[in-house]
Structures are given as structure tokens and as C-alpha cells.
Structure 1
Amino acid sequence: MHNFIRLLKLCKPHAGMLLLGAFLASLTVLANVGLLAISGWFLAAMAAAGIAGVQMNYFTPAGVIRFLAIVRTASRYGERMITHNATFLLLSEFRVKMFRTLSQLNNVDLAMSRSSDLFNRLQNDVDALDKFYLNVLLPIIVAIISIPIVMAFMAMYSAEVALVCFISLMIIGVLLPAILSRKLHRQADAETQISAELRSELADTLKGARELAVYQAQEAQLTHCDLLSKQYNSQLYNRHKAVANSNGLSTLVIQLTMLASVFMIIPLVAMGTMKNVELAMLALFVLASFETVLTLPTAFIELPLTLSAAKRLFALEDKHSSHLSKQQNCLAHQSAIGLELAAVNYQYAGAKNKALNNINFVITPGSKVALVGASGSGKTTLVNLLTGLWPKQSGSLKFITDQGTFELESMTAATRFKQLTIVAQQHHIFDGTLRENLRYAAPEATDEMLIEACEQAELGSWLNNLKTGLNTRLGTAGRKLSHGQSRRIAIAQALLREGNLIVLDEPTESLDNHTKQKLLTTLEKIWADKTMLTITHDPEMLSRVDKVIWLEQGQVRALASHAELVANEADYVELITRF
């Protein structure tokens, strides 16, 4: 029931169109019922008039019949158009929400999920929800609207017949669906799970066809897929069997009800309480009234499958940390945050040695720290763990704030990147204008803010010389820029953000000495209250930081000031001068 309510909440943006579709569907059902009942009366009346040799006014009932036929056709057309359009809108709503959920999950959740399973949820589970409105919600709404109206008109002719008909409607529309729904509830979960597993296994089989051939494991894998396929077909057979049984029972109840109503009306006609022509009308009225509930058994058969698919989708959304809002509120009021790494290890698949081996250090809020090490020492691995681009294997990575510490692993990507400002060594320039590239970092920034960021990044004179200014196109991957200009655009983007922990990867690379000195002075002034972690081997930058973390072969070799390392470590001096 909880997932049903959550699905209803997702329908809220399109509630007007959904209700309009339900109104047109109800109008179609009522027009069908009225058309069949009046047609029965008209045919019986014409026959009775012919036998008695009297005249009757056939223009009025003929006009009513024609009117109801037009109403039925027009409302059916409108209902199909509105309800299907509403279904497509709901599907887009579900799919966008699902994609948004995937994009907000932290990378550990993503890394621990099979890509084929995530795709299955995004594709097939969302597609399963297209039945929620048309096959589940719409029949329920139509029944709620139509049954009271039909019963009210039927009771005007015979309260007893209306009561019998109402009981039969409840059997078909409530009792039978409830039994089917209860019976198929567990089976629906199994069917959805087996379907997802089968698709995942088939995707893995195709993707790993070469490896299966090399290790001669195709037969075992195909046997496993065949077993899953048989299990899935068995689940489908049980469901379709239930649908067939439901349709058969519904038909039996309808025929018995109509027969019972005829036997109840005959004495009334014999006593003169009811006109003979009303016998045919009321019998057909009873028969047509079941159109109000005829699709409810199927709706309740589809409901468990829809809720099972919704459960899988909502399971991803529920992976968000329960204390996420607390983290966001605490982190939002920080001007700087620190970083604590404890017993962090990381080893790439197939590698003999660890890329990071028992890394322990603390960066206090507001401090300026440099990360130094030869190629392969673990600097990039450490930054990727910090950003969440790679999942943590062991150890602890925490943000330090005035109100406590927060595990990075428990944060969503959006929360984590809101606190981080990163200037990567490999920075991509998109094929667009300078304004568009800068606004990736700050979509709401004004042109004045963009120009100021360019000036702070030592791009002011270059920008002033551009004929079209911020409207200048930078070309694919920034091919119209020098490497130094590309680096400074990345720094300008970083200046537009409001992150509390700044991560810079060789920020002064490809810059001349004069530009570098001015840029470093500007960055120190602007980010004076921020925490900065800089990967660099530039002696000028190293002399400006509070501490240096020296990595070697995945371990912290030393943690000291630049001056202390220069005075005591010859290998350190050789490292920074070599670069």
C-alpha cells in the first residue's frame, strides 16, 4: 500500500489530465450501458406495438439511441487520446525520476550494483509502470464513478434486481480481485526478480561471449539462462492461468445474474407491476452494468506486478542516507571543512601491490596542504576516492566540521561535490562558448561574475582582446585554446563555485612564472578561509602551504613542512627539482 501511495504522488503533476481521462472513460461506460438498455426497450416496444397493431413514437427513442452512440464514439476517442497521452507523461515522469535517483546515488551504491540490473530498472521496471494508470488506476476510478449511477437508475425500476446486481458487481469487482491479488502478490515479486535476473544474465552472456568461449563455459552459462527462462515462463503461465480463470468466473457470474434478474422480473410483469417491454430493457441493463467492473480483476492481477516493479525502483531511492538532511544542514554552514583518512587501502584488480597502503592523515579546516609523490605513488587514486569516483575498499574517509565528522561514503554525489571544488589535471572544455563553459560551474552566475572570475584567473587581458567576449566559441575540447588558457578557465570555474574543500591538481602547469606568481597570490587571497589540498611539485607552491604529505609507493613517507623536508630529505629535493 505504501508503494501504491508513492505512485499516486508521482501522478500528482498530471492529475488534471488523469482525471479528465477517467471522466471520459466513465462517460463511455455509461453511454454503453444506456445504449444497450434503451435499445432493448426500443426493440421490445416496437415488437409489442406491431403485435397490438398500434402506433408509437419511435423518433424520440431513436434520437436518444443515436445521441448515446455519438457520445460513446466521441468519448471513447477522447478517452483513448487523453489516457494514452497521460500514460506517456507518467512514463516520462517515472523515467526522469529514476535517472535523477541514479545520478544522486553515491558511487559505492552504484559500484555495488550490476550495470545490467540498473539498466533493467531504468528500462523494464519503468516500462512495467505504464500499466499503472491504464490497467490499474483507471478501472478503479471508473468503477467508483459508474457503479452508483448505474445502481441508482436500476433501483428506480426494481430495488430487488438492483440489489442482486450490486452483490454480483461486488463479487466480480471486489471479492474476486482481492483473492487474485492475494494469491499473486508473492508470485509478482518472484516474476519481477526472475525477469530482472534473466535479462542481466543474458546481457552478461553477450558481453562476455569471448571470455566464455576462451574458458569453454558457454554451455554452463546457457544452461543457467535456460533454467531462468523456464522459471520465468512458469510464472507467466500461472499469471495467465489466473487471468483466464478470472474471466471464466466473471462470465459465469454475469450470466447467472442476468438469468436471476429475468426470473425476478417475470412475476412483476405478470402482476402488471412492470410493463412487459421493461423486461428486455432491465435484463440488458443488468448485462451491460457489468462493464463497470469487468476490467477490475485484470487490474488487481496487474497491481502486484506494478507494485513489485515500483518496489525495485523505490529501493534505489531509499538508499539515500537517512541522515542526509542533517549532513546537508551541518555542511551548509561551514566556511571550511577538514579531511580525515584512517587506514585507507586500495588495490586495483589484478595488481600485486596496493595503490594505497594504510593511509592515515588529518587535514584541519582552513589549512593549506600539498600532496607530493612520484608517478604511481597513489595521488590520483587518493583524489578519486575523495571524490567518490571510485568506491572505498577499506578504511575511513571523513569530512571534519565544527559539528562533528561525516563519512564521505554515506553522502550522495550531489552533497559531496557541493563541498568539493576540483581543478583536475585533465580538464575538458566543451564545444560551446566561453560563457557556457564557465556556467557549468555556476549556472546562475551573471556576466559580471564570469568576467570577474576570468580576471582573477589571469584571463582578463585575453578576454578583453576577444572580439565576441564571453560569446567566443572555444571549439571541440578547447582546440582554440592554449594549454595554459585551458588551465586558467578551469581555475575560473573553480572560483565560481562555493566549495569548502579545494582540490587542485598541478594548477600552475603550463603557466609562465609571472602569471603563476600573480595567480597564486590571488588564489591565496580568495581562498584564505578555505581548506586547500594541492597536488604539485612546484617549489613555489610548496613554499606557500602549511604541510606537505609525501606519498611513496602507496604509503605516507613523510608529513612535514616544505622547509623541513628540504632540510632533511635529499630524495624530496630531488623529486621536486626533477619535476
Structure 2
Amino acid sequence: MNAKKTNKNLSTFGVLRSLLKLVHGMECWMILAILAGTAGFVCAAGIGMMAVLAAFSHIPGSISISFGTACLCMGLFAVLRGVLRYGEQACNHYIAFRLLATIRDKVFGQLRRLGPARLDGRKKGDLIALITSDVELLEVFYAHTISPFCIAICCAVLFGAAGFWIHWSIGVLLLCSYALAAFGIPLIFGSAAQKTGIARRKAVGDLSATVLESVRGADEIIQYDLEGVRKARMNEKTEELLVLEDEQKKQTVAASSASLAIVTL
């Protein structure tokens, strides 16, 4: 009998496809989040535009909008920006928390079906981290990645078109800066961040496993006077995790600073 072979090591795009399939049935909420986010960024740009128009409103013949009208538009855009931002985040988090509950239920159900026989060789700390912290990380993907990615594309198209409408050189400059921020930063910092993230995930599982082993074997530890040994091991695992977290924070700050510099320029 020929067994059907499956590739368990999914590529990055394979994982993304699998995660995106779970959004099926909540596409309306995702579209609302994208529309609200795009409109919110347009309003944010409108605040600055109205401020410039207000500053030049006293120059005769320069623009056809009065200072009062420009200030009124600034206030309107500011209010709309807040409302639209709230609407975007509300839709995103509604999707994320619904999906996290579904994913936790599926993971726990799968673990129950595997039973002790299939899980005997696995570290208990890894299993606990899988159900709790690993699933919780998906909230970032569903609430802060999918719609912001789509919003960024929509805004890049809108602002790029506006730039070309003013002058072709402005449009080219905007599109080049968007491409640098979208592809340059991930290429520069992505590989190192991925390695650190994997190592940190392993360190979290090791620390959880060490704590669980110490709790479950408390009687034996006390009986054989191994408190100092277990304490030293937990301190060692904690220190490893803290070092990796510190490295991850440095990488995040570096990537954020580079992105902010590109946006500012």
C-alpha cells in the first residue's frame, strides 16, 4: 500500500496560506478594517495638508481656502482619524481573538487525540508554550499584520498616484521610499531576527520544562538535597532567556529606527 507523503516542513508562504485560510468567514470584518485604516491614514495626511494651507492662506492669490476653513478641516480630520483608527483596531482584534479561541481549541483537541503515548518524548514545557505563548503570538499576525499590510499597499498606491499627479519625480521618489521601507528593512534585519526568535522560543520551552520538572520532582529534590542544583539550573535557563530577549529588543529597536529614518527622510 502506498502511503501518501506530506511535507511537514512548510515554507514561509505555506504557513501564511494556512493561517490566512482561517480568516474564511470573517472577510467582511477584514475589509472593514482595511477600509477604515486606509481612510484613517488619508485623514492623517489631510491634517498636515490643511496645516500647510492654513499657513499660506494669508498670501493673496496663492490658494482658494481660508484660514478658518483649513483649521476646521484639520479638526474634522483629527476626529475622523481617531474614530477610524478605533474602528480598524476593533475589527482586527475581533478577528484575532475569535481565531485564537478556535486555534487553541484545535491544538488542545489534537493533543488529546495524540495521547500520552505520542507525547511521552516531548518536553512538557514545549507543550505548555505551544498552547499558551505560541498561540498568543498569532494575535500579532491577525490583529497587526494582515490589515496593516493591505492598508500600506492601498496608501502607497493612493499617495504615489497623488505624487505623480503633482510631478512625476515626486511619484518616483515616493514609490522608491515605499519599496525601500517594505523590502529593504526586512531583508537587512529579517534573517537575524528569525534566528533570535527561534532561539528565544526554545529558551522559553526549556525554562518552562525546567520549572515543571522541579515542581513535579520537589519531593525527590528535597530528599536528595538538590535544591541548589535545581536553583542553579533555573537561573542558568533564565539567564539564557534574558540574553536572547535583550538581543531581540536590540534588533527590534534597530529595525524600528531604520524604518523611522526612512519615513522621516
TM-score range with shorter-chain normalisation? 0.7 to 0.9
Contact 1:120–1:200 (CA under 8 A) maintained in structure 2 = no
Q: Are 1:201 and 2:210 matched, yes or no?
A: yes
Higher relative contact order (CA 8 A, sep 6+): 2
Mapped to 1, the partners of 2:153 and 2:252 lie a distance apart of 22
Query: Aligned runs of 1:20-419 on 2, under 5 Å?
Result: 20-46=32-58, 48-49=59-60, 57-58=66-67, 60-255=69-264, 257=265
Change (3 A) 1:98 1:13: farther
Mapped to 2, the partners of 1:254 and 1:119 lie a distance apart of 40
Contact 2:36–2:88 (CA under 8 A) maintained in structure 1 = yes
Query: How far apart are 1:212 and its partner, in Å?
Result: 1.0
Contact 2:129–2:205 (CA under 8 A) maintained in structure 1 = yes
CA RMSD of aligned residues (A): 2.3
Query: How far apart are 1:165 and its partner, in Å?
Result: 2.4
Query: How far apart are 1:55 and its partner, in Å?
Result: 9.6
Contact 2:214–2:230 (CA under 8 A) maintained in structure 1 = yes
Mapped to 2, the partners of 1:232 and 1:17 lie a distance apart of 37
SS of the residue 1:147 aligns to: helix
Number of residue equivalences = 252
SS of the residue 1:11 aligns to: coil
Change (3 A) 1:216 1:246: same
Unaligned runs of 5+ in 2: 1-11
Of Structure 1 and Structure 2, the greater strand share is in 1
Contact 1:28–1:72 (CA under 8 A) maintained in structure 2 = yes
Change (3 A) 1:55 1:117: closer
Mapped to 1, the partners of 2:119 and 2:217 lie a distance apart of 21
Hey, what does 2:6 align to over in structure 1? none
Mapped to 1, the partners of 2:16 and 2:37 lie a distance apart of 22
- Structure showing greater radius of gyration is 1
Mapped to 1, the partners of 2:227 and 2:94 lie a distance apart of 44
Mapped to 2, the partners of 1:168 and 1:206 lie a distance apart of 54
Query: How far apart are 1:107 and its partner, in Å?
Result: 4.2
Hey, what does 2:7 align to over in structure 1? none
Query: How far apart are 1:152 and its partner, in Å?
Result: 0.9
Query: How far apart are 1:120 and its partner, in Å?
Result: 2.2
Task: Give the partner amino acid of 1:165.
Answer: L
After superposition, give the CA deviation of every residue in 1:420-460 in whole Å (9 maximum; x if it has no partner): xxxxxxxxxxxxxxxxxxxxxxxxxxxxxxxxxxxxxxxxx
SS of the residue 2:133 aligns to: helix
Unaligned runs of 5+ in 1: 258-579
Query: How far apart are 1:18 and its partner, in Å?
Result: 2.4
Mapped to 1, the partners of 2:263 and 2:93 lie a distance apart of 29
Of Structure 1 and Structure 2, the greater helix share is in 2
Change (3 A) 1:70 1:11: same
Aligned-pair identity (%): 18
Task: Give the partner amino acid of 2:130.
Answer: R
